[in-house]
Amino acid sequence: MLQDDATAQAAAASGVAGQTWLGHARATLVLGLPLIGVQLAQVTMNVTDTIMVGWLGAGELAATVLATQAFFLFFIFGSGFAHAAVPLAATAEGQGDPRGVRRSIRMSLWVLMLYGAVTMVPLALVGPILLALGQEPEISRLAAAYMALGQWSMFPALAILSLRAYLTVVNRAYLMLSVIVAGALANAGFNYVFIFGHLGAPALGIVGAALATVLANLTMAGLLIGYTLAAPALARYELYARFWRPDWPAFLEVVRLGLPISATIIAEVGLFATSSIMMGWLGTIPLAAHGIALQIAAISFMVPLGLASAATVRVGLAAGRGDRVALGRAGTVVILISGSIAFLAAMLFWLVPERLVGLFLDQANENAADVLETAVPLLLVAAVFQLADALQAVGAGVLRGMKDTRVPMIMALISYWLVGMPVAYLLAFPAGVGAPGIWWGLASGLAVAAVMLNWRYVRRERYGLAPE
C-alpha cells in the first residue's frame, strides 16, 4: 500500500497521468524549457571560446576547432552513460523508488569517472594524431597546446552530466540551469583574462581558452556537488551515502544501456568530427568557416536537444507507471514541438546568414571576408537540415525513454556512415562541390536517421516497446 501511494505521488508530480494533449504539451515545456536553457548556456561556452579565439586569427580558430572537436568526440561518447541513467532513474522515480534513483545515478558517476581516466591517453596524443590525419603542422601544434591543459576538464564535465540527469529526474532542472548560466559567465570572464592577458594575467592565447574551460567546469561541478549534498528536498535519495561501495548490478546496467547510446551519439558526432577533418584538407579558411557554421547550427540544435532530454524523462516516467496512453502522448507532443521550432530556426538561417556569421568575425582581420564568403553557403545548407536534425534527436530521446537503445544504434550507424559520410566525400571531392558538398552529406545522414528513428517510435506497439 505504501508503495502504491509513493507511485501515485510520483505520477502526480511528473504530470503524466490522465493528461490531455494540451496538458502534455504544457508539462513538456515546463520540464523542457529549463533543459533548453541548460543546453544553450552550455553551448554558449563553446561559442564564447570560438568568438574570442577567432579574434586571434584564422589559424588559432582552426586549431581550436580541431582540438575541441577531438575533446568533444570523447566527451560525448562518455555522455551515453549519463543518458543511460535518465530512463533508469526516471522509471524508478515513476515507481516511487528513491533507492532505484540513487543506484542508477551513483553508478553512472562511477562509470563516468573511470571512463574519464581512460580518455587521458588519446587526448594527450591529439597533436600526432592530427598530423597523421593530414592536418597542417602549425595547426596541429596549436591544437596540441590547447589540449595539454584542456583535457583535464573531462572529469568535472562528465560529473556535471550525471548530476544533470539526477536533477532532471527529480524535477530540479531549474537549479541545473542556474549553475550552467553561472559557469558560462565564469568561462567568459576567464577567457577575457587569460586569452588576452587582462587584470595582470599573462596573455596565453588559445591555451588561455583551455584554462578558462577547465576552471569553468570545476566551478559548475563544485556548485552541483554542494547542492546535491546539502539540499533537504534531496535527502531521501541519499546519493552520496556509502558512495565508495560498488553496486555491480546497477553498474553493469548503466554500461549495458549506455554503450549503445554512446555508439549512437558517437556515430553522429563522429560524422561531424570527420567533416572537420575533410574541411582541413580544403584549407584553413574553409575549416574556420566550418567551425563558425557548426557553432551557429549547434545553438539552434540545443532547443530540440533539450526537448529530447525532457522526452526521455517523461516517457520513462510513463513507462515506470505502465501508462501506454501517457507514453504515446508524451512522445508525440515533443516531436511536434521540436519540428515546429526547427522550422522557425531554418527560416532565420535562410533570411540573415551574413549577420549570423558576422557575429563570429573581427572585420578588421585580413581573413574575415574570405571566412564570411565561405561560411554563408554552409549556413544555407544548415537551414535545410535543421528539421531533420531536430527530429532525429527527439526520436532518439523518445526511444531512449523506453530503454530502446540497440536498434537506434544500428540505425544511426547506417544513416551517418553508410549514407552521410560517403555522400559528403563524393560531393566535396570527386564531384568538386567543396565545402557545401560536405554539409549536404551531413544533411542526408541526418534525414535518413530522422525517418528511421521516428518510424520505430510510431510502430512501437509492433516492436514490443510499449509497456504491457
How many C-beta atoms surround the C-beta of residue 247 within 10 A?
16
Radius of gyration of the chain (CA): 22
* Count, residues in the chain: 468
pLDDT score at 363: 67
Distance CA 313, CA 321 (A): 12
CB 309 within 8 A of CB 400: no
pLDDT in tens, 130-182: 888 777 888 888 888 899 998 999 999 999 999 988 998 888 878 888 898 89
Report residues of the chain scoring pLDDT below 50: 1-16
- Check: CB of residue 307 under 8 Å from CB of residue 35: yes
CA atoms within 13 A on the CB side of 157: 25
Residue 344: which residues within 8 A CB-CB, separation 6 or more? Answer: none
* Count of alpha carbons within 13 angstroms of residue 292, beta-carbon side: 35
At residue 4, the pLDDT reads: 37
Predicted pLDDT of residue 134: 78
Distance CA 282, CA 66 (A): 14
Q: What is the pLDDT of residue 298?
A: 79
- For residue 19, give the amino acid letter: Q
Q: Kindly report the CA angle at 237 between 233 and 241, in degrees rounded to 5?
A: 120
